[in-house]
Every structure is written in structure tokens, then in C-alpha cells.
Chain A
């Protein structure tokens, strides 16, 4: 049987963009945007993705939420959806997105296509998704998360391929969000909000000639194995957040905290989900290294999502405090932009500037540029 696809449209996603509002979170901003003559673009973009599914998979079984939350876009695309969620009020909120995603997963959707931005991704991430994967149709103002396709039709093509094949590999990616108030004041500080699973297309992102690392999952495992290979007895390792580092914990056989910092020594868990204060105590007088990966599409290494590994903790660890790990794909996806550090201590940041040796596998590293944007003017 063809797997069902769930559809959610955040009807107000993207409304703040054309109005120059840096985002669309919250009823006030949405009203302000509409006052400025903006209209949301999510429904049209969702319909673009769904129209492709309709063409490639005529009669595709689509589950969705009522009216503007997906039903309208589905019908506009020529599909006949089953409605599994109805919002209580005409004006929907993020809570409706979360409730709709939970209802879709519960109704048997194996993949949820959602049209929106980072705020919508957060709300979807809050749902009880179980094994259900998600994929974002890019329609928001902010899209720092790793769960968006490059375009609506690209999202539709991946979803249709998923329906054709029945079984599909998935990868865990980060959901990031940025405080819009901060962007409106010129700051971009994305925080790591959670992890979701997205479908990956093997053979489309990797060359078939490559004898190893035939999939992204293989590449993540290989990068994580490269970290484990570099671990030494008696050294305390602070495992930062992120999917690649979760794989390090898996290889060590310890239960990791995907969004937190776990401390391991000699292959055993010392403390899970440690705070900055706990980390300071644990590295005191010991040889330690912090294991970090690239957070989000902006390439943050320090200062976003892993603030527990603070300037004070890094100072205490001493020289050469980092092991940086990432797949080659992740570095390539940065498109040449440098890795970023922002610990809040410009002098410390300066010490990281230059090039980082990024572990990409057993005995393989990539040398990648690092920038300390906050240290400018202090040096």
C-alpha cells in the first residue's frame, strides 16, 4: 500500500517577510503585516509542491487539516484530502500546527509536508511524531533549520518519490529558531530547538562511484567513528548537541542527550545533560576536550545551542580544547561560508579564528575556515 502523506499549511507563514518585519511570529506581527498590505504565501507554495505530487502520483492519499491549514492548498492542487484535524477558531495559531501534526501522525501519515518557516518547524517538532518524518516546503521568512527542501517543487518531488518507493531512508536534522525581536534589532542568534527526521535521497546527494559512505547515514557514522578513534584513556570528553555527536554517544554505547551536553570518560557516561556549572567542576584539574559539531546552516560551532560549553569552561580546558566533527556534506552545504564562534568572550573567540581541523571520518579531516564575528574591533 502506498504510504500516506500528511499536509500542514501555516496560513500566515511568510506574511511578515514582504512587510519587512523579519518574521511572522505572533498575532500582533501578523496583523501589522496585513495592515502593511502583505499576504501570506504559504498556501500557494504548498499547492506548488502538492500539484507535483498530484501529477506524479495521481490519486495519492493525502491527510490534512481543515480549510486554510492544508485542505485549501490540497484542493487547489487537484487532490482530494481526508481531513483529520479541525482548528477550533478561524484564526489559527502555533498550537493548531502542533495539534494537526500529532493528529496526522496518529492517523497514519508516514511523512508530513509542512509549509512555513522556522516557527512552523518548531511547532511541528513539538508534536508527538513517533516515527513520522517531516519535510518543510520553504514558505517562511526565517528558515535556518535543516528540514526545508530547496524549493516547493523540490519538496514535492522528494515526497512523491517517498510515496513511490514505500521505504525511504531518513536523517535527523536540527530545528533552529531565531528570536525575531533580536533580528529586528540586527542580531541573528539561532537557538537549537529540537531534532526531526527528514527523508534523504541516496544517490542524489552522493556519487555512486564512491566505495564507502554510500549514504549520509554512513557518512555520519564514519565521522563519529573518527571521533571515537581519537579518544584517549583518562581524558574527559564533553559531547555537545547535534545528530553527529549523538552518533558518537551511540558508538560508545551510552545514552546521549541530543540537545544537551553529556560528559564521558573512558567510554562511560559521567554525567548526562550537564550544566555549565557542572562542566566547570568536571573539567577542573583534568585533561578534557569538548566535542562539537556544526549547528545549523549558518555554521555555528560555539555559542548557539551549546552555550553550556561556555568561555569559562573552554578557558579551564586550556589549549586546544576542541574536537570538531562534521560530515563533508555538512561542510559543503555551508557553501564556502566559514564556521562561526561566539562564546561571548572576544579574546577567546580570536584564538579559534583561522582554520579548524574538522574530523570527517577515521583518519580523515578537513581544514575549514573559522570566523569570530564578535571579536572584530577588539583585535
Chain B
């Protein structure tokens, strides 16, 4: 080598690790062990007897589970290799997963939740010995009540969809308590609200009515008026929706819902652009929820554990999931004696480590800091939008020329018509530059969609890097489309086709399903 080293080019010369690692089941060697468990001492054996024999037959396996048999070092290497083969939130400029609010999760909070004082707690310990964590849960609830303006909060739910489920379950219980359970059979939502709103309402037994946006991208208030009736149980709505457009008439929607006796549920899973600026209470909502793993910085965990917060107005307090943490003077206790509660929606008292992380994050920022986080997230987003719209072929449907809140759903439709390159192909090529990219929730209302959300965590130079990558891929789509179409080229895997994922006869969500669908014949 020679010094000084050459300056770095504007576009990172990235290459992902490629270990070509087998699936762990393929690494199994019969008899190999990571730990040799010592035999039970004879005194213990004679005192306790054959514990396995005491298990009922229905709980006992006929044959041992087909687990991989491996030594410790091989297991470690296997998972370290897999961990190198991804684009984690702490590695890449993770602004391409819009709606998910991929902000920084401060590492000091990880240290806090790993202290033995917290990690060794057991949920069945006596209340007297867990006053500290009960105080944290209670205080976090109070802070979220202040942020939402609502009267009471439960932190029991384990994630966003679980919290949306709690919203509709409470609404159902409320109407049943009022004797209107059978009459109120419909839930109204919008096509740009998170699809879990429609899904949970349907799972709760409701007929779901979906509204489309008007020409400006707002939910169509006339359609909403036409949809309302004495059958309406609830409005379940996101604001701002995935388009990043804030609906300024939201209070009118809520008033209209109330006028027919329906309740209004506010999906605030992502409240990152409005913290300290608007509140569910002022818009008149009866219930709302936050995802602690979006707005409040706890890690997403790729499918869990997340954490949800359910905030309600007075009339829904009796129905909150529980138990709830209550305070009596200096003493905190769990109240399970709540006859109208929808009951447990998760084990015990919520995802305690995430509650602690969110508590620490809010305490470190304070009220002013929370508002500033939202303001910077909005500023970042509008800077990003300006830069993205400078890329030929990129567009932002609806509300042309107006500002957005914390995210934008963009469209590559112009580029697609010109080059035949799809948004999905652009996303795959973007991984060659070391960044993640996502398209849209179901359904694809915006054609060739992509959704970006820079949060408050990213600096201008990192936002510029992301824009530079998309501009480069768009240039390639025009000038060297084969490079995009056959991507990835610098990734862990080569180009793959998704057909197998779309065919239930061919997809393989587990090793067992893979064996059954592809090799059953070989095994006889």
C-alpha cells in the first residue's frame, strides 16, 4: 500500500459478505454436541424418580425432535456468518423502510436492559420486590398519556398489530356493554391506513368498509359520510397516512363518527412527525396506539419483540387490557380486578425491556427534546423529498407542491414506462450499494411505489448518500438496464426469482416444509 490513501468516491464501493453458508440442518453431524449435560446424581434420581415417565402421554414425543447436532464453535461461526450477511439498521442508511421509523436505538439503553437487576426479574415475583420496574411502567404510561392527551395507557401489547387489535377489541366490548354489539357490525378504514386496521376489524368479526383518497390524497370525507350509519362501530384511521399527507379535517371525521354513535381509533404506530405538535385528544379520538419500536426508538427486532402502547379516553378505560399498574401513595401494584377489561392481550405486563428502553429514551430527551425530534424528522423528510424529486423518473403522487410530514410514498412509474425497470428491481440493485429499500404496504395504490422515511437520526450527508444511490440506479435503469435487472451483483446471494414464494405448493417457510415439498419422494 502507499500513503496517503486515495479519497473515497461519492458512491460506496460496497460488497456484502458471501459465506455460501449451508442451512444449519445440513451442518448436523450425528452425535456431535455443544454441551454434554451431566447425568443426574443418584440421590436426586432416587428421590425424584423418572420425571419423564410422570408426563402424560399426550405431551411426550414418540421420537426425539430432529434438531441439528453441532459443537459450540461451529454454531457460533454459523450465526456470526449469517449476521454478516444482512443489512442491519446499525449498518446501513436505513431510510428506505418508510412507515417503520428506523431511527437510532441508543446503545446505552441496551446496557440498561441487560443489567442483572432487570434481566433477572421474573414476572411472578411478589410486587413488593419489583416496585422499581412497576414505577417505570407507571411513569412511562403517564408520559404517553401526556403525549397523546388521553386519560389512561396500557403497555401490555407486544407490538403494533397487537395494539390495533386491542383498539378494536375495546371498541367491540364498549358497544356490547352498551347493548349495541349486534347492531354495530361495520368498521370504516382508509386504503392508506395500515392494513392491520382492516385485518384486525375483520378478525374481530366486523364487516370492513374501505375508503379511497380524493384527488388531493386525503381520505374522501363525502364517502365517509355516505358510509356512516347506525351500523358503524368505528372509524380506524392513520394520520398522517403512508403518503405522509396530514389530514387537516381529521377532527371532522371523528365528529362524524361520533354523530352516529361510533367510536374513533387513531393508528399512531408512527407518530414521529407529530410528537409534541398534535395529540389524539384534541382531534377527539377515543383510542390510539403507539409502537414503541417506531416513534420511541426501541429496536424493531425483525418481527419481534416490539411493543405497543394503548391510550384511551375515559369511556374506554374500563375496557383496557390488563392487568394495569396502579399507584397507592408510594406503592405500586398490579390491578387484575377489572371486570369489563378485554383481558390479557399478551403474557404478563408487556415487553418490559422495551418499556425500559422507551422510558430511557423519553427521559433523555424531555418534552422539548421529543418535539425537536419530530421537527427534525419532518425537516429531514422534506429535504429528502426535494432531492428525490430532482431524480428524473421519480414522482410523489398527490398533494403536488405541498410539504409532507415524516415520510413520503414515491413512485417510479415514469421511469418504469421509460425503461421497464420496476421499483422492486431498483430495490434489489440498491442493496449492491449497501442500503435497504422497501416498496409499499398492500395494496399498491401508488404505482411502482417506494416509501422513504429519514427520521431525525440521519445527517444530511447520509441522506445525500442515499439519494445518490437512487439517482445512480435510476441512471443505470436508462443506460445499462441489464445491470439493474440482473442485480444483485455484490450481495450475499445472486439474483433470485420469487415464483416459489407466490405458490403455496412450492413455498417453504420451514425446514420441515422444504423437506416435505421437495424431497418427500427421496425418503419414500
Contacts and interface: CB of A to CB of B under 8 A. Distances in A.
Given A151-B417, A202-B498, A204-B422, 6 more contacts: A201-B422, A209-B441, A210-B443, A213-B442, A363-B208, A367-B210
Interface in B492-523: 497-499, 501-502
Interface stretch (A106-114, A120-128, A153-161, A251-259): A153-161
A88 interface: no
B504 to A, nearest CB: 8
B215 A355 contact: no
Contacts of B420: 52, 151, 153-154, 156-158
A146 to B, nearest CB: 15
A206 B223 contact: no
B364 to A, nearest CB: 32
B238 to A, nearest CB: 16
Interface residues on B, range: 35 or more
Contact of B501 (A153, A203, A204): A203
A364 B440 contact: no
B416 A150 contact: yes
Interface residues of A, number: 44
23 contacts: A56-B485, A150-B417, A151-B416, A151-B420, A153-B419, A154-B420, A165-B499, A203-B424, A203-B502, A207-B441, A208-B498, A211-B199, A215-B502, A355-B226, A363-B202, A364-B208, A364-B209, A365-B210, A366-B211, A367-B210, A367-B211, A367-B212, A369-B220
B223 A367 contact: yes
A329 B444 CA distance: 8
Interface of B: 191, 195, 198-199, 202, 206-215, 220, 222-224, 226-227, 413, 416-422, 424, 439-445, 481-482, 485, 497-499, 501-502
B210 A366 contact: yes
Contacts of A206: 442-444
Contacts of B212: 331, 336, 366-368
Nearest to A356: B226
Interface of A: prevailing SS? mixed
Contacts of B422: 157, 201, 204
Interface string A357-374: 100100111111100000
A205 interface: yes
Contacts of B208: 363-365
A184 interface: no
Interface of A: 52, 55-56, 150-151, 153-154, 156-158, 164-165, 167, 169, 201-211, 213-215, 328-329, 331-332, 336, 354-355, 357, 360, 363-369
A208 B496 CA distance: 15
Contact of A209 (B213, B413, B442, B445): B442
A164 B498 CA distance: 12
B482 A55 contact: yes
Nearest to A328: B443
A329 B482 contact: no
Nearest to B448: A204
A133 to B, nearest CB: 16
Contact of B442 (A52, A210, A360): A210
A202 B223 contact: no
Contacts of B227: 355, 367
A354 to B, nearest CB: 6
Contact of B424 (A158, A164, A204, A213): A204
A56 B482 contact: yes
Contact of A336 (B202, B213, B416, B499): B213
A201 B498 CA distance: 10
Nearest 6 CB-CB pairings of A with B: A157-B420, A210-B442, A153-B420, A151-B417, A207-B442, A202-B502
Nearest to B446: A332
A332 B446 CA distance: 8
Contacts of B499: 165, 167, 202
